[in-house]
Amino acid sequence: MDRNFADELLDAIAEKGSPVCVGLDPVFEKLPETLRRDTPEEVEQVEMLEEFCEGVLEAVAPFVPAVKIQSAYFERYGPAGVGLYNRMIARAIDMDLLVIGDVKRNDIGPTAQAYAQGHLRALQTSIGPTPDVANAITVNGYFGADGLTPFIDMAAAESRGVFVLVRTSNPSAGQVQDFADANGSKLYEHVARLVARIGDGEGLIGESGYSCVGAVVGATWPDQARQLREIMPRQIFLVPGFGAQGATADDCAASFKADGTGAIVNSSRGVIFAFWQERFASVDWKQAVAVAAEEFAAQIRKAVFK
Amino acid sequence: MDRNFADELLDAIAEKGSPVCVGLDPVFEKLPETLRRDTPEEVEQVEMLEEFCEGVLEAVAPFVPAVKIQSAYFERYGPAGVGLYNRMIARAIDMDLLVIGDVKRNDIGPTAQAYAQGHLRALQTSIGPTPDVANAITVNGYFGADGLTPFIDMAAAESRGVFVLVRTSNPSAGQVQDFADANGSKLYEHVARLVARIGDGEGLIGESGYSCVGAVVGATWPDQARQLREIMPRQIFLVPGFGAQGATADDCAASFKADGTGAIVNSSRGVIFAFWQERFASVDWKQAVAVAAEEFAAQIRKAVFK
C-alpha cells in the first residue's frame, strides 16, 4: 500500500499539533492600510495582494499544517491574478505547508481531465517540473462519477488529493443539497455514498486507511457532519464555516472520529483579517495574523482532543 | 425594460441565421500537424494553441453567432494558458462573435462574487476597461440561491448572462441529477424550478421575454429537454452534446420553442477538429473547419425550423 495525500496530511497535522488550515482569501479592500494604495490600473492591486499573501503565509506557517488557497480571489484579476495564485502555491510549499487549491472545478470527462492536468499535475520544463501545483483541490460532483474519475485518477497518479463538495456551509445550501427521496434520504447523503464508493477504489487508500478522495462538509451543520462521518469512514473531511460563518469549535469537532483524525478545519477571514479586530489595534498586522492562527489552532485542538 | 444578454443573443442568432455556437476546446495532441512541434517546455504549446484558436475563430465567424470557450483546456497550462483564454475572448469579440465562457464556477456568496468579478466584469485600466470579458458564463448551482445570486447580480449590472447547469450531457449525469423525491420529481427538475424562479427576478427579463439567466440542458436527453422547456419558459438553453457526444439535430430541437427560439446548440470537437475526417484529407485545415461549421449551422437550422 502506497502512501497517499491523506497520509501526508495526517503526518503534517501530527507535526504541527492541530488539524487546521488557514484559507488565503485576499481582498484588496480589507488589506492593511500600509499595503494599500490607489491606482488607476486595477491589476496593480495584484502586487499589493502579493505582499499581503506572503506575509500571511509567513505568519501562519509555524502553527498550521496546510493552507487553502481560494482561486476566486485571484481569478478576480484575470491572468495576472492566476499567476499570483500559482506563485503562492509554490511559496507555501516552499514553507513546508500543504496546499489545498480551492477551485471547485467540474465538467464532463475529457474536460475534467484537462482541469485535472492544470490543477493536479506539474508542467514539464527543460529543467524539470514546475513547483506550483497544489497537493489537493476541491471539486464539484454534480456530473456524477464520470466527471469525478478524471480528477481522482490524476490525484492517484500524482500522489495528490481531491475533496468533493458534499454539504456546503452556506445558508441556502439546503435548497439543493437537502432535496430528499421517498425514504427521506437527502441529496448530500446520496453524494456522500457516491464519494465513499468511488473513494474506495483500487489504489486510493493509504497507509492510514484514509482515501485520497475526501469530502467538503460544512461545519455549520454538525448533525449532518456526524451522519456523514458514518457514511464516509475513509474520507478526510475539509471543514469550512468556522468563525466568520458562525460555526463553533465544537461544531467542527463533529466531523472527526473519536481518535481525533478524519478532518481538517479551515478558517479564512477570522485569521487573515484578524488585524482589523480592536484588540489588535496597536499590533503589527502580521503579528495579529500569527496570534489569530495560533489561537485558531489551539481552539480546534482543544475541541477535538477533549 | 432594458435589453439584456438574451436579446443580444437572439439578435445575433437572427443575423447569422442559426442558433448555434462552436466550442473552442483546443487540445495539443489534436492540432493540425503543421502547427505542432515538439518542445521540452510544455508551456510553449500555448503558442501553437494560439495559432490554432485564431484560425478556428476566423473559420467559424461567418457562420455562427457565438463561441463557447472552454476554460479547462487553457487552465491546463496554468497562468500562460489563462492569458490565452482571455486573449481569445477579446479576439472573438473583435470578430463580432458573442462569447460564452465555459467556466462552471461555483462557491458561497462572497467567493462567488469574486468569481463574478473575474469573469463577468472588465478590469479598469488608465485607458478604460479591458476588452477580454465573456458575454456570459456557465455556473454550477449546487450551493443554491446564495451561490447563484452574486453571478446573476453581476450579469444584470454588466448586461451579461449566466447559464446554470441543470441537466448535463455526460453518461453518468443521472447518478446525481436523477435523484428523485417521493413524487418522482428529479433533482434536475428541482434545480430547473430554482433557476426559473431566480431567473424571473426584477430587471432580469429582456425585451424578448427571456431572462439573462439561462440553463445548460444536454442534447443527449431530449425527453428531459422537452419537460425542462415547460419548467423554464424564460430561460435560454445552452445545449451541449451534439455530434461527438451522440445527440442528433432532432434531439437538439427538443430544447427549442415552437417559434424556433429559446436555445443555442453547441458543437466543439465535431467542428474544430473536422480536418481529421477522411473527407477533408486534402483540404486546408481551416477550410475544413469552416465547412464543418457551415454544415453544423445548416443541420441545426433545418431541424429547428422544419
8 Å CB contact of A83 and B86: no
Segment (H or E) for B133: none
Q: Given this model, what pLDDT does residue B2 score?
A: 81
Residue B102 near residue A16, CB atoms below 8 Å: no
Q: Given this model, what pLDDT does residue A1 score?
A: 60
From the list B300, B297, B268, B274, the residue with the least C-alpha distance to B287 is B274
- Whether A187 has its CB under 8 Å from any CB of chain B: the answer is yes
Q: Given this model, what pLDDT does residue B119 score?
A: 98
CA-to-CA distance for A100 and A12, rounded, in angstroms? Answer: 13
8 Å CB contact of A181 and B177: no
Of A77, A107, A112, the CB nearest to B123: A77
Q: Given this model, what pLDDT does residue B175 score?
A: 96
Kindly list the residues from chain A whose CB atom is less than 8 angstroms away from the CB atom of residue B140: 104, 106, 140, 142
Task: Mention every residue, 6+ apart, whose C-beta is less than 8 A from residue B236.
Answer: B6, B9, B161, B163, B210, B211, B214, B215, B262, B263, B264
Domains and CATH numbers, chain B: 5-304 (3.20.20.70)
- Whether B180 has its CB under 8 Å from any CB of chain A: the answer is yes
Residue B243: is its pLDDT beyond 90? Answer: no
Residue A26: is its pLDDT beyond 80? Answer: yes
Nearest CA in chain B to A191: B176
Residues B177-186 have a mean pLDDT of 96
Nearest CA in chain A to B172: A144
Of A83, A143, A194, the CB nearest to B170: A143
List pLDDT tens digits, range B52-66: 999 999 999 999 999
Cα distances from B143 to residues A142, B34, B123, in angstroms, run 11, 45, 27
Q: Given this model, what pLDDT does residue B244 score?
A: 78
Coil, strand, or helix at residue B101?
strand
Residues A241-248 have a mean pLDDT of 89
CA-to-CA distance for B140 and B151, rounded, in angstroms? Answer: 11
At B235, phi and psi to the nearest 5?
-100, 135
- Whether B168 has its CB under 8 Å from any CB of chain A: the answer is yes
ipTM associated with this complex? 0.98
Which one is catalytic: A104, A186, A257, A302? A104
Of A125, A168, A179, the CB nearest to B143: A168
Segment (H or E) for B277: none
CA-to-CA distance for B276 and B52, rounded, in angstroms? Answer: 14
Listed range (A1-5, B81-85, B145-149) with the worst mean pLDDT = A1-5
From the list A243, A242, A244, A246, the residue with the least C-alpha distance to A265 is A242
8 Å CB contact of B83 and A86: no
Residues B7-15 have a mean pLDDT of 98
Kindly list the residues from chain A whose CB atom is less than 8 angstroms away from the CB atom of residue B176: 141-144, 187, 190-191, 194
CA-to-CA distance for B110 and A93, rounded, in angstroms? Answer: 26
CA-to-CA distance for A241 and A85, rounded, in angstroms? Answer: 22
The A residues from 27 to 56 touching B (CB cutoff 8 Å) are 27, 40-43
CA-to-CA distance for A85 and A93, rounded, in angstroms? Answer: 13
Q: Given this model, what pLDDT does residue B63 score?
A: 98
List pLDDT tens digits, range A168-182: 999 999 999 999 999
How is residue B258 written as a grid cell?
A: 415552437
Q: Given this model, what pLDDT does residue B282 score?
A: 96
Of A81, A85, A173, the CB nearest to B144: A173
pTM: 0.98
8 Å CB contact of B106 and A140: yes
CA-to-CA distance for B241 and B251, rounded, in angstroms? Answer: 9
Residue B290 near residue B244, CB atoms below 8 Å: no
8 Å CB contact of B118 and A72: yes
**pLDDT band of B306, cuts 50, 70, 90:** confident
Strands (DSSP E) along chain B, which ranges? 20-24, 66-70, 98-105, 124-125, 128-129, 136-139, 161-167, 213-217, 237-239, 263-267
Residues B215-227 have a mean pLDDT of 95
Kindly list the residues from chain B whose CB atom is less than 8 angstroms away from the CB atom of residue A114: 27, 70, 72-73, 75-76
List pLDDT tens digits, range A196-227: 999 999 999 999 999 999 999 999 999 999 99
Q: Given this model, what pLDDT does residue A244 score?
A: 78
Does A104 qualify as catalytic in the annotation? yes
Residues B2-11 have a mean pLDDT of 96
Residues B151-160 have a mean pLDDT of 98
Of A140, A169, A172, the CB nearest to B140: A140
- Whether B128 has its CB under 8 Å from any CB of chain A: the answer is no
- Strand-pairing partners, residue B113, are none
**Closest-CA distance of chain A to residue B306, Å:** 31
CB pairs under 8 A between A and B: 195
CA-to-CA distance for B66 and B87, rounded, in angstroms? Answer: 16
Percent of chain B with pLDDT over 70: 100
From the list A304, A306, A147, the residue with the least C-alpha distance to A237 is A304
Query: Which of A24, A44, A75, A85 would you mutate first to test chain B, the one with the most B CBs within 10 A?
Result: A75
Nearest CA in chain A to B103: A105
Kindly list the residues from chain A whose CB atom is less than 8 angstroms away from the CB atom of residue B172: 143-147
Cα distances from A45 to residues A50, A272, B50, in angstroms, run 9, 17, 28
The B residues from 91 to 120 touching A (CB cutoff 8 Å) are 104-112, 114-115, 117-119
